[in-house]
Structures are given as C-alpha cells and as structure tokens.
Structure 1
C-alpha cells in the first residue's frame, strides 16, 4: 500500500516515474494526485459523424481501418553508429463515414498488424492538414484484428488492465461521462499520466483528513480521501464538482499555511525595538514639515511607530496611489530607528529613482540630514547614496561611511546587496516598488544586520493591489493603505486617441503640447520600446502594426511637429550619467518635452510637467498606464494624459484603454488588471521558470475562501505549527522546487 508522501519511483517504478519527475517535477504520490486534470472530455467514445472538432481537442475514435499507406523515413544512426532505415505508417479510418487519418513514425513493427479490417481505438489531439482531420502518433488499442493479436500503446493497455475490462468489454474502459485530460506534453501524454494515477489509486491507503470535521460540515465539503479520488475517476459531474469544491479549499489552505510558516518564522526572531523619543530627529522633523500630514498618513505612522517599538520584527507593506505621500511616512519611520542608534537602508529598483529619493530626502531633512557639514543641526544624521554607476573611489567612500555608522539613511540600488557593503548597525530595510524585487533580495539586505537582529521591513508600492493578491502573493506581510491624496494635488483628465478612426486628433495633441510649453509647462511623450532591436512581446499578440520606437519618435518630432521645442531623449539603455544629465535638465526646465520609455514609470517627480502622451498605449498594462499617468498632476496646474493607439475603439485593447481613461481609482484598475491576467502571472514563478498556477482557486472569484483559509491557518498555526496534514497541503508552495513569492 502507499501513502501521499511515498516516492513515485517506489510505487510505479523508475521507468514510469522518471518522465513525470523530469517533465513535471512530480516526485511523490501527493504530487501526482495534485496534478489535476485540466479538463474533462465527454468525447471518449465514437464522435458523431458530422461533428465539428476544434483543433487541439483530445478525442478518441473507435473505427475500422479502411486504408493504409507506408513510406521511408530519413535514415538515422543508432547509438552504435549503424544506419537504421525506418518506415512511417498512415492509416485511414473510414467505417464511420468521415475519413480520419493517423500517422505513426518508426512504425516498422506496426505495419503487419495495423492492416485493413482492423478495428481499433485511436486517441490523441485533433489536427487539420489541408482541411482533412488527422491525428499524429496517437495512442491506440486494437479491439479486433484479422491476425487475432491484441496490441496497443502501453498506456492504453494499462488503462484496460486497471479497469478489469476483457474481450468485448475492452471499449467499456473508455466509455465514461467524464474522462480526465491532464496537462501533458509529447514526452508524457495524458493517457500515460492517467494510467499512473489509476495505478497509484489502486494501492493508496485511505488519506488522513487534515481538516476538522466541524470545518467540513460548516462548508459542506467532502473528505480529502474522497476528493483526491473523485477528481481523477468520478463518473458523474456532481461527484466531480464536489471534489473541485474541496480541492479549491485545499489550495487556499495550503497557500495560507505556507505564508503562516514564513510569517511566524520571521516573527520568532529578535527585532530592534526603538521607542519613539520626544527630543530626537522625529520630533524635529515634525516641527519643520512644510505641510500637514493627511489623516491617512498619521494613521499609518501610528501603526509603524508601535511596530518599530516592539521586539518582533515589523513586516509591513505600505501601498498607496502615486503621490499619496508614502515617502515622507517612510522617512519618519526611518528617523525613529536612527533616533535609537540604528541605520536604515532604502532599496530602489533604478538609479533614477534612487537618486531622486536621495535628493528629496535630503531636501525634506535639510539641516537634520547634514551631520558633519556646515549648517548641520545638532544630532543630525547623514544620507548616503550608493549606485552601480558610481566610480570605484566614490563607492569606496560611501561604503566607509556606511560601515562606520556615519550614514543613518543609506539609499541605493542592487549595489546595496553586494558583499562589499557592510553596515555598522542596520535596523530597518525599506524596499520601494516591491514588485521589482524578490524575497531573496530583500532578505539578503536584511542579513547585513548584526548577529541576532532581524531588521524591521517596510515595503512600498504605488501599484494598487487587489485584496486577494495582498492575501496571497504578499501574504507574509501585513498591509497598510494610503488612499487619500495630499491637499493641492491637481486633477488629471485622461482621453483616448484612436488614430485610425480620428487621425487628426494626434495633430491636436501635438498642438496641445506646444500650448502647454508656451504657458511655461512641460510634457512627457512615452513609447513602448527603444529601437528596432528592442523586440516587443506583444508585436504579434494584439494584431496591430508594430509600435513606434522612442528613437524613431524623437527623430520624427525633432524635425516635425515639435521642431520648435527643446526635446530630450531618455531610455534605459543610456549610460547612467547621461540619464542623470537628461533628467536633471528636464527637472530644471532646460528641456520642454521628454521623449522616453517607461524608465520614468516610477519615482520621477517633475511638478511642472502637465501633459503626457503615451504612444501605442495598447502595449502597456493597465497598472503600468496608471503608474505612468502618475508622473503628471504633481504641481499647481490641471494635467492631461492622452492614450494613443492604432487599434480599433471596439477592440479589447481599445476598451481597456477607455476603462483606464474613465477612472483615476488605481484600486478599481488593479481589480480590472487582475481580471485580464493569468493567475500565474500574479503569483510568480517556480525555479524552473514555470508560472505557479492555482488550478481551482481563483484570485478573482474566491476572496471569501481565501479570507476563511487565512483565518483558519492563523488560528491553527498558533496551536499546532507542526500540523502534518497542513504541511502536506502547503508542500506545492514551500518545497525546494518553488520560490513562491519570488517575483523579481
């Protein structure tokens, strides 16, 4: 007998288990039984004579061979270097009135067996060649042969043997209301997976139930044992539906248990407790703030202040709309740690954003950030910046400042993660634009703290996150949200330009930019790619013309509609010093119009910019467009965002752009973005690069299930952190084949 934890090579043998491990990462009985069918086909018996079958549909035909054709394959050398000549065989099934062909390669042994008059089962995926229906190298099983022999594909013979069917009842093994079709490939076909599943189920011990009976009753769920058997073998749709309902909870519970393990694993460590002071940098900073904090900022700061004063390390995500004031909140939190004698590290995804953080934090601190400098306040700290493009002497000087403890706030890019960077007393890590970094990267920075200390962690994102995603992908973090924008933020009007229907609107857009510049303001013009070598994955996906490149757009505008203005070019392939120079010139007003890529998506703050035109806007995601739009509307004047596309207004992409134009609510747009994306895109990737998918649990539809699972797992983990059954449910999200939360 077998249990869920048993290795498949012991249960099935190495020959059957090897391909499952190689191609699907399936190693145990539990892995195999949770490789759920991707669909159930009701076409496992003879398809109707006039039935139209879609390409790619897995179908089984039961018919008689009415014709055969053979031919020679290209000679090949075997492992010993000998030339082998092989033949292919094509059989035609015509007894049903509609011809179906099936082609087999390396078919020498089949030719004398699969002759006219042979009745057989053929099973495979439908393909069409010049309008004719065909199957290529399908699974097969002979039912009646003129020669009297019963031959077939091993997987189909295994299905027959496991079903107990014999003689005239062979076909009964395949006549089912629902037949499972598994995620498969050419090396491991769905029949082979099904055969392995049947073999395992025949020897499987009753599966222990990990959930309390009261939980099952409350939610009307069947047992784990019933569900894992029925999802693969159920004859009736009602049984299958009951299994899916239970396994949906399994996925939610496994996910939340994995997250609970991570939360408690970190929370059990020792955090640097720093109580707020009345006479430190925080108090001085409050006195010099040139504006009043919003109610939302004050509420979040109250939470952060309490968590930084506790011995349990803070693990919190701060999300908020572009311009909602996350940065000043993080600065106040970092100053609390500096007051306690600790250093803080702020990790940013790009050099442009890191440099801007350093500039804005120095500006807001003023004398409080000028320790050791003329004009510095008593008790001041120092703000250091470290990026990869700095010269070796510059990097060395900053590292010495950090190692010596002189810099209380250290801002940088991935350069902060290098082994050469050592902190004197790191107590807090702030990660900006969290989705640009993985868990491993933020943990690597936290590991630079003194032994026995786990720094507090604050991750920030201006990309609004649906609640289901916050409870799953970011489920190891507590969440705070800033929805209120600071006073004085100007409204942004967004319009779409459908160039095919209204080509003259683009001319009006150029004129509007000229008018804004004439009034003393500035503009962004955004393109989706740099040049022709920068291939866009969506070039063929949307069906529209290839997008204009930023280099081409810059040249066209410089000599055309905007020739009278001062244009700057900005993209990610420019050297860092050139990017800084262009950005500095735009910020100081020496450049009127910045023609750029999404390098300005986050962090670039130019209050005088009031217009943004996004070319080929259909090439951008919903949240990305919302991020880009947040670069304007940051000053005294109302702003305008124009989304231009060459796709039709009624196309899916056109409707998506209209949805973005219709609202400034980033959270509503985040929900819309989630609806359009595959769950695996949201959840991250395994180490092998495959997207992690939830087969039954939907981040769009099952918020209630996710919330219930989180509450259940939180409570149970407090009582029994070593729960064996829950650990089994969490295995797909915690074993060494999956970095569940790595979204870098």
Structure 2
C-alpha cells in the first residue's frame, strides 16, 4: 500500500488539473489528497424527498424538484447581467436565476431536457423563483443512486470557486473520485485494543461515512471516531514530547533549603502563605530534586500570589548556588515584577536588577559583569534577557510570565544560557479552561493557585446602563471622598466612524467637567503615548497625586495600586470576558472593599449580555474562562493562535471535554505501560509518529 499517495499534489487528482488546483489552494488551503479528504462537510441535507413546483413554499429551507427546461436567456449589461431559465413540471412553472458563473451554467443548460434543481424556494413578482440553485441533468439511474444516500454532504465553497464548477456539488464529486481511488490506502492509525475498548469504527469506514453517510447513525459513528483521533494525536504528541524531554534533559538538583529561603520565610514574608501557595511550592520543591529539568505551568488568578511563589522558588535556587531570572512580555510588566520583588526584599538581603530596552548602556555594562561573575542572583527583564550579550555564570531557575506572548525560539534561547538547562516555571494570570490547558500546555506539569490571600475581599461587580451615568459619577465622588482612587477604562483613543463607542478623548472632557481642578486630579494613559510619558502618568497615580486614571486597556496588566478601589469599564459589552476579568483584577489589591462597574448601552447582543451577567455573578477566573471558551471557541482565546495545536477540523474543546479526557487517559495509559512503544499492539503508533499518520499528516502539531 502506498501511503505517500495522500501527499500527492491535488492537481494530479482526476478532474482537477492546474487551474482548479490553483484556486483550491488559494481559496480552501487544499494542496494535497489528504487536505481534500479532510475537507469535511459542514452540514448534511436530506435529498430523499422530491417536491412539486406547487409545493415549493418560500418558508422551506430548501427543496428538490424534477423540472423540464422551457427557455433560457441572459439579460442586463455588465454588472447587472443575469441568467434566467424558465422551467416547468405537471403542477406549474418556475423561474431560475443566476447572477454569477453565468457563462458556464448557460452552456450546460439544454432546452427540452429534464433536470433536478435544488435550492431555496422564493417568490419574485408573485411567481415561484429559485436563485442560484444547484442543477444537474435528470436520469433515473442518478436518482436511484442518490436514493441510497439519504444525507447529502454540503461543503464550504467560495464565489471564486464557482466559475470552476467547484461549488458544494463540484467538491462532492472530487471527493467521490478521491475515495474511489484511495479508500483502500486509508490505513488504521489507532491500536486495535483501543478501538475495541472504546467501540470506535475503523478509520477507512469513518472517512467513507463522514463524506457519504448511509444514515445519521453511520454519520455519528464516523464523527466520534475522527474527533477522537484528532484529540488522541494532539495528546500523543504532547505527552511523547514530555517523555522525551524527561529522558533528554537532566536538571540541577536543589538539595538544600538554605538561609535565603528560610530568612525570607521567617522574617520578611509580610503575610501567611495560602494553602494553595504552599501546595505549589511543595510541587516545585519535588520537581527540583528529581534530577530532571522542571517544566511547570503556574496558573493563578490576578492577585492570587504567584509572584511570591516565584520569588521563593528563586530563593531555593540561590540557596543551591544558582542564578535566577524572570522574563516578562512588556516593560510595564517587567517593572511591576521588579517593584513587587524589591518591596519584598531589600538590596542588603539580595540585589535585584532590571534589564529592559530602556536600560542605559552604562547600567547594562555593570549588569553584564555582575551576571558573568555570578554576583547578581536575580535579574528581571523583557526580551532583552535573551540577547547573546547577556551571559550568566550559572543560571538555574527561569520564570516566564504570560508565556503565550513569547515564541518557542525565544524561550529556547533562555534555556541555552546554561549547560544543564535551568528549571522553568511558566506563569499566567489568564485562567485557562482545563481542556485548553491540556491541549496548549499538555507537555507541562500544571499547578493552580485557586485561593486568594487572606483579608482580600471579593470585588463587587455592577452592570449599569448609560442612562445611569449620574449615579456612577456620584459613586466615584463618594469613593474619592473616602481617599480612594478610580480607574476609568475606554476601548478607543479617538472617535471611530465605524464604532459608536465612548472614546478616551471625549471621556477626558466629560471627566474634566464632572471632576474639576483643584479638587480632583486626573492621569491619562493610552497606547500612543511614549513609554516615559506613560510611566510619568502612572507614577502620579501610584503616588496618589491623581485620584482618577482615565486609560485604554494598556493598564490591563502592570499597575498595582492597593488604594484604587473602583474600576469603571466603558462600553463593557465590547470587551471579551478574559479582558474584563483582567481589568477587574486591577482593583481589590488592598484591604478595602473594591468595586467594578460595567457601563454599557441598552443595545446588547446575546453574547454581550451573557458576558456582563457572568462578570456580575462570579469572581472565579476559571469559571469565567470556561464560559469564555463556550462563547468564543478555543481559536479566539488569547494565545491559542500561535500554539499551532488548535487547527481542529471536527473536535471542539468547548463541547468535547469528555472525549478529550478519554483521549488523554488512553495516551497516558499507553506510555505508562509501554514508554518506548515496543509492544506489538503499539507498533502502529510508532509508524504513525514516524510517518504521516496513515498519510494524513499530524506533523503540523507542535
């Protein structure tokens, strides 16, 4: 059997050729036989029933009618050209109309011949009409053949494909040719013992039935099998990488809990650790004693205390003679970490340094020397950390914040800063649904901080409409009178013609009228300001020199002002749930009760309403992330696009959670019992991972 057949360029399929291949590549990304085979139908239509023209009610979604062609003519000039065909049956007449692909349709129509037309029935000037119907010559044999196939597959196509006869029907014909030619070459990819255990049908049968199902039950069996296959191989690749990583990368052993860790824990830690923080520290401690490089993801809501866990893990590394660093995606966030850690430890105890694009050449020179000599133990910075000039004497522990904002190569550069790769702790303040975490970070061990530090009061969230604006202003004034500070966040900087949103410039004018000098002072921060101007304005707010910060979402991360107790989000319906949750997390950092006010217009979409109701109902980031996944789908959750693993054709992480769990357990069971895949029953997986997975490639998964 020739497995390479599925990698054959699409132009070599009978009926395709160079011109059609070119448009298939451009429009649908179909380059090979495998790509076409995995161009699955997006819906199925019952084509068993035939209607009469008289029965073609405009309320029906689509009808199929056998008609005879009475006449055809092309009307109109250039842009208004249309092809009109008059057809009839024994109950009446109907008009068919086409506005595109006119030439090739007109050529195929022969007056006097019988046709099967399929489309959405309508009325035009009181007469039955059908616009852009599918049409093919009628023959009793074709109808009999079609009768055996109750569900007709419908394939996504585009307007540019139609002149090449590549509408849904045209694509269906190509897939029929492809299956006729290659079905015998579709090999099994999953071990038989799993197929039997899970009662899954074979792979060849699944591909035949997803394109041309005999009935609904056959279709469901095919979908279940192919969904499982998608999820199984994502988990297979991730867990195989994890196993290879464990075997390949040795890790430094942190055998000592020494003076730095103990001194900090006993005398410098300003609060008691939560049980969740203690649990995560224990997990990290165990990881760093195994002699294998640690790769751990630390998930925790805004304000849950991830930075303290990171710092204490770094002190553990320093106690064992190693240097440490934190890499953050932005200068604001790097500064935030630097300030947080400086507040927890002073220079007498341990020096902490900051390296970003803004660091002067003079400071850089000193930093480089201290790093190379091993005198500097904690370095915090941005991408600047991965520059070749930055050389550590003995880097043993790396913290990467919001890792989805860094590319794989950028992270790898940091690992290469030492002969034995440093232990890696990846942190994210964006709660990730369990299924998504298992798919994006399935090769990492996951720790979760799921409780807030003692004394933190849950933020109260309210949803107000624009008509309640005076009430909102009154509330702001009362909080400011108590000595508190307020954020007001806008989605845009200047007015947009396309989006009717409250914009920052107008907002500042309104705020200046409502909160006049000298009683009130306002800071303004947005993305088009220079870094120094932004920093100046933020520092004024942090120091309490201004009571109101009017900003765009630039303050989503990186500002920690315990005295700020109110977050007002204008046009809240236009923000995603994850972003709303991140913005809300800017307040509630002190001991006082904090509030988040979501302002919106009365016009709310269904999803917009759910998002705002969710925010009012819960402060739990993981609960919010699950709802976000249901609303937006995995491809739109921040950071998933670059991961490369979410190009799922059938499976859906929001709705197929149970199937993903089963797939993960199956893969774990296989590697537990047979890590080298040496058992005869698992040889199929060895072939799959070395070849193109039965011809249908999984190589793109990373």
Where does residue 495 of structure 1 map in the other structure?
462
Distance 1:574 1:125 in 2: 54
Distance 2:494 2:280 in 1: 43
1:675 Cα deviation after fit: 1.2
Residues 660 and 686 of structure 1, relative CA distance in 2, 3 Å threshold? closer
1:303 Cα deviation after fit: 0.8
Do the aligned residues in 2 keep the contact of 1:616 with 1:645 (CA within 8 Å)? yes
CA RMSD of aligned residues (A): 3.4
Residues 551 and 431 of structure 1, relative CA distance in 2, 3 Å threshold? farther
1:198 aligns with 2:166: no
Residues 443 and 47 of structure 1, relative CA distance in 2, 3 Å threshold? farther
Distance 2:469 2:697 in 1: 49
1:141 aligns with 2:113: no
Where does residue 720 of structure 1 map in the other structure?
677
1:114 aligns with 2:109: yes
1:94 Cα deviation after fit: 4.7
Residues 205 and 106 of structure 1, relative CA distance in 2, 3 Å threshold? closer
Where does residue 550 of structure 2 map in the other structure?
595
1:249 Cα deviation after fit: 1.1
1:735 aligns with 2:675: no
Where does residue 504 of structure 2 map in the other structure?
550
Where does residue 12 of structure 1 map in the other structure?
13
Could you report, residue by residue, the CA deviation over 1:676-697 in whole angstroms, capped at 9, with x for unpaired residues?
A: 112322496778x999443432
User: Which of 310-319 and 185-194 deviates more?
Assistant: 185-194
Residues 278 and 141 of structure 1, relative CA distance in 2, 3 Å threshold? closer
TM-score (normalised: structure 1)? 0.82
Distance 1:290 1:708 in 2: 44
Where does residue 407 of structure 1 map in the other structure?
376
User: Which of 597-606 and 191-200 deviates more?
Assistant: 191-200
Among 566, 572, 586, which residue is 2:521 paired with?
566
User: Which of 712-721 and 562-571 deviates more?
Assistant: 712-721
Matches within 5 A, 1:164-183: 168-175=140-147, 176-183=149-156
Q: Counterpart of 2:9 in 1: which secondary structure?
A: helix
1:222 Cα deviation after fit: 1.3
Distance 2:364 2:65 in 1: 70
Could you report, residue by residue, the CA deviation over 1:27-71 in whole angstroms, capped at 9, with x for unpaired residues?
A: 44443322221111124764564455689x787654333332225
1:91 aligns with 2:58: no
Structure with the larger helix share:
2
1:103 aligns with 2:57: no
User: Which of 296-305 and 696-705 deviates more?
Assistant: 696-705
1:516 aligns with 2:479: yes
1:703 Cα deviation after fit: 2.5
User: Which of 123-132 and 658-667 deviates more?
Assistant: 123-132
Distance 2:105 2:618 in 1: 64
Distance 1:244 1:386 in 2: 51
Could you report, residue by residue, the CA deviation over 1:620-675 in whole angstroms, capped at 9, with x for unpaired residues?
A: 11222122111111112111111111135795423431221112222221111111
Could you report, residue by residue, the CA deviation over 1:289-336 in whole angstroms, capped at 9, with x for unpaired residues?
A: 222211111111011012123332211111112211110001111222
Could you report, residue by residue, the CA deviation over 1:236-285 in whole angstroms, capped at 9, with x for unpaired residues?
A: 11111111121121121021112123323433332431314243422222
Among 652, 656, 659, which residue is 1:702 paired with?
656
1:334 aligns with 2:314: yes
1:732 Cα deviation after fit: 7.5
Distance 1:353 1:407 in 2: 21
TM-score (normalised: structure 2)? 0.87
Where does residue 147 of structure 1 map in the other structure?
none
Distance 1:598 1:130 in 2: 53
Matches within 5 A, 1:671-690: 671-682=626-637
Where does residue 352 of structure 1 map in the other structure?
332
Among 484, 489, 509, which residue is 1:526 paired with?
489
Where does residue 399 of structure 2 map in the other structure?
430
Distance 1:265 1:724 in 2: 17
Residues 273 and 54 of structure 1, relative CA distance in 2, 3 Å threshold? farther
Do the aligned residues in 1 keep the contact of 2:38 with 2:649 (CA within 8 Å)? no
Do the aligned residues in 1 keep the contact of 2:56 with 2:63 (CA within 8 Å)? no
Matches within 5 A, 1:378-397: 380=350, 382-395=351-364, 397=366
Residues 44 and 70 of structure 1, relative CA distance in 2, 3 Å threshold? farther
Matches within 5 A, 1:228-243: 228-243=207-222
User: Which of 307-316 and 272-281 deviates more?
Assistant: 272-281
Distance 1:489 1:434 in 2: 27
Do the aligned residues in 1 keep the contact of 2:400 with 2:427 (CA within 8 Å)? yes
Distance 2:695 2:394 in 1: 36
Query: Gaps spanning 5+ residues in structure 1: where?
Result: 76-85, 144-166, 371-375, 540-545
Distance 1:686 1:659 in 2: 25
Where does residue 586 of structure 2 map in the other structure?
631
Where does residue 167 of structure 2 map in the other structure?
189
Where does residue 315 of structure 1 map in the other structure?
295
1:643 aligns with 2:598: yes
Aligned residue pairs, count? 676
Distance 2:262 2:407 in 1: 34
Residues 336 and 129 of structure 1, relative CA distance in 2, 3 Å threshold? farther
Residues 97 and 594 of structure 1, relative CA distance in 2, 3 Å threshold? farther
Distance 1:577 1:495 in 2: 34
1:586 Cα deviation after fit: 0.8
Residues 358 and 110 of structure 1, relative CA distance in 2, 3 Å threshold? closer
Where does residue 682 of structure 2 map in the other structure?
none
